[in-house]
Amino acid sequence: MPRPTLTVVIPIFNEEEVIPELSRRLREVIKVWELRIDSWEVVFVNDGSNDQSLAQLKKLASEETRFKVISFSRNFGHQMAITAGIDRAEGEAVVIMDADLQDPPEVVSEMIDRWREGYDVVYGVRTKRHGETLFKKLTATVFYRLLRAMLGGVTIPADAGDFRLIGRPVVLAMRALRERHRFVRGMVAWVGFRQTAVYYARPARFAGETKYPLKKMVRFAVDGIASFSVVPLRFATWLGVASGLVAMLTAAWAIYERFFGSGVVQGWPTIMIAVALGASAQLLMTGVLGEYVGRIYEEIKRRPLYITAEEINVNSSVATPPAD
């Protein structure tokens, strides 16, 4: 069988509330895609859901063989789910899309058009974000600006998530990147090729709760920065210089007080300031170093990025990625 033109990869973690609507919207919009492309497949990656998601996906797969399922042995995280989809995708173009319909399937038609014009990466940029907390919007805005400032060479588009289309050359390049701490949107930017944006207003999650609680968001942000930048390591130098300056001023003040002050014993505040400054600077930098050392440790184990328990309708001859 020839390769399908389009593969849609959809990570799924406890999405039983949205899967029925998702499949309805997909079936509808696929008719529109079919005006532009010959063939398609949808790869659902079940990321260790513990609700009815897998059962629902299996039912979809039994009704339509172009609906395919990769099921992980446990929750490996959103970025790993995307990775598994990219690893198995057969399409000439691969679209990555959230399950909760926050990435409107209708926008994909426009992505296909841009790809046809010759772009290798077409990413979605959110012009508006509905139904998301002020906190989420604010942290996202700060994060994308901070990330850009730290990256220098590689430009990661602001306000773009993982919702995007990538062409075959980008897919193959992505498969060669086997690092554990994966920040897919950054990796796509790093890979290069001709990139362009389409704009869309991001609707609210169709149903259910966000699967990105604060803890996962923080991890994701740290991964994003630490996998693409060593700028935080350089903080050590600046922090050292800054605390050294403050310590020198403190010393000057202490000496002045000793000789020209009122003569009262005044060692206590000086020591407190010096100890506090030194300790905080050191602890902070130990933490930063720990982030990078931890990463070295995890990379060096060379474990597979994810483990699949089950695959349905997936063509097993599709090259699974090299072991490392």
What does the binding site for ligand UDP look like in residue numbers (CB under 6 A)?
Answer: 11-13, 15, 47, 75, 77-78, 81, 98-100, 102, 205, 210-212
- Report CA 4 to chain centroid distance, whole Å: 26
CB of 76 to ligand UDP, least distance (A): 8
> What number of residues does the chain have?
324
Q: At 241, phi and psi to the nearest 5?
A: -60, -45
Secondary structure of residue 60 in the 3-state scheme: helix
CB of 6 to Mg ion, least distance (A): 22
Interaction site with Mg ion (CB under 5 A): 100, 102, 205
- Judged by CB, which is closer to ligand UDP: 105, or 232? 105
Q: What is the DSSP-derived secondary structure letter of residue 7?
A: E
Q: In what order do the strands lie in the sheet with 195-202?
A: 195-202, 121-129, 160-167, 93-96, 6-12, 40-46, 67-72, 308-312
d(C-alpha 12, C-alpha 9), whole Å: 10
CB of 103 to Mg ion, least distance (A): 8
- Judged by CB, which is closer to Mg ion: 37, or 99? 99
Helix axes 184-191, 78-88, angle to 10 degrees: 50
Among residues 99, 103, 101, 105, the alpha carbon closest in space to that of 51 is found at: 99
CB of 218 to ligand UDP, least distance (A): 13
- Judged by CB, which is closer to ligand UDP: 201, or 241? 201
- Judged by CB, which is closer to ligand UDP: 129, or 194? 129
Number of H helices, E strands in the chain: 10, 8
d(C-alpha 76, C-alpha 143), whole Å: 23
- Judged by CB, which is closer to ligand UDP: 119, or 183? 183
Q: Is beta strand 121-129 parallel, antiparallel or unpaired with respect to 195-202? A: parallel
CB of 273 to ligand UDP, least distance (A): 42
- Judged by CB, which is closer to Mg ion: 102, or 195? 102
Instruction: Indicate which of Mg ion, ligand UDP, none lies near residue 99 (CB less than 5 to 8 Å, by partner kind).
Output: ligand UDP
CB of 135 to Mg ion, least distance (A): 15
